[in-house]
A = this chain, B = another copy of it.
Amino acid sequence: MRELGEFALIERINAGRVQAPGVLLGPGDDAAMVAAPDGRFVVTTDMLVEGRHFRLDWSGPRDIGSKAIAQNAADVVAMGAVPTAFVVALGCPADTPVEVIDGLTDGMWAEASRAGGSIAGGDVVRSPQLVISVTAFGDLDGRAPITRAGARVGDTVAVAGRLGWSAAGLAVLSTGVDPADELLAEALAAHRVPRPPYSAVLAAIADAAAGADDSDASPQQGVLEARRVSEPSSLAAFGSEGIIGSPAARSAAAIPTALTDISDGLLADLGHIAEASRVAVDIRSTALRDPELEAIARHLDADAAQWILTGGEDHAFVGTWPADRELPPGWTPIGRVLAGHGVTVDGVRRPGNGGWESFSGVDSASEPEPR
Q: Which residues of A contact B (CB under 8 A)?
A: 1-2, 4-7, 9, 24-25, 28-49, 51-53, 75-76, 78-79, 81, 85, 87-91, 94, 120-129, 131, 133, 135-138, 140, 145, 147-149, 224, 227, 229-230, 259-261, 276, 357-360, 363
Question: A53 contacts which chain B residues (CB < 8 A)?
Answer: 125
Please determine whether B42 and A39 come into contact, CB atoms closer than 8 angstroms: no
Please determine whether B34 and A41 come into contact, CB atoms closer than 8 angstroms: yes
Please determine whether B358 and A121 come into contact, CB atoms closer than 8 angstroms: no
Q: Whole-angstrom distance from the CB of A9 to the nearest CB of chain B?
A: 7
Please determine whether B131 and A127 come into contact, CB atoms closer than 8 angstroms: yes
Considering the chains assembled together, what is the distance between the CA atoms of A40 and B230 in angstroms?
Answer: 12
Q: Whole-angstrom distance from the CB of A117 to the nearest CB of chain B?
A: 12
Please determine whether B261 and A47 come into contact, CB atoms closer than 8 angstroms: no
Question: A88 contacts which chain B residues (CB < 8 A)?
Answer: 45
Please determine whether A29 and B363 come into contact, CB atoms closer than 8 angstroms: no
Considering the chains assembled together, what is the distance between the CA atoms of A6 and B289 in angstroms?
Answer: 30
Considering the chains assembled together, what is the distance between the CA atoms of A204 and B299 in angstroms?
Answer: 69
Please determine whether A133 and B47 come into contact, CB atoms closer than 8 angstroms: yes
Residue of B nearest to A9 (CB): B359
A81 contact from B1, B24, B31, Cβ within 8 A: B31
Please determine whether B129 and A357 come into contact, CB atoms closer than 8 angstroms: no
Please determine whether A43 and B121 come into contact, CB atoms closer than 8 angstroms: yes
Between A and B, 22 residue pairs with Cβ closer than 8 Å are A1-B359, A5-B357, A7-B357, A28-B276, A29-B147, A29-B276, A30-B79, A30-B260, A31-B76, A31-B78, A32-B44, A33-B42, A33-B43, A35-B39, A36-B41, A43-B85, A43-B135, A45-B123, A49-B128, A124-B358, A126-B359, A227-B229
A45 contact from B1, B39, B89, B363, Cβ within 8 A: B89
Residue of B nearest to A2 (CB): B359
Question: A360 contacts which chain B residues (CB < 8 A)?
Answer: 5-6
Considering the chains assembled together, what is the distance between the CA atoms of A261 and B164 in angstroms?
Answer: 47
Question: A36 contacts which chain B residues (CB < 8 A)?
Answer: 36, 39-41
Q: Whole-angstrom distance from the CB of A86 to the nearest CB of chain B?
A: 10
Question: A28 contacts which chain B residues (CB < 8 A)?
Answer: 276
Considering the chains assembled together, what is the distance between the CA atoms of A149 and B148 in angstroms?
Answer: 44
Question: A229 contacts which chain B residues (CB < 8 A)?
Answer: 39, 227, 229
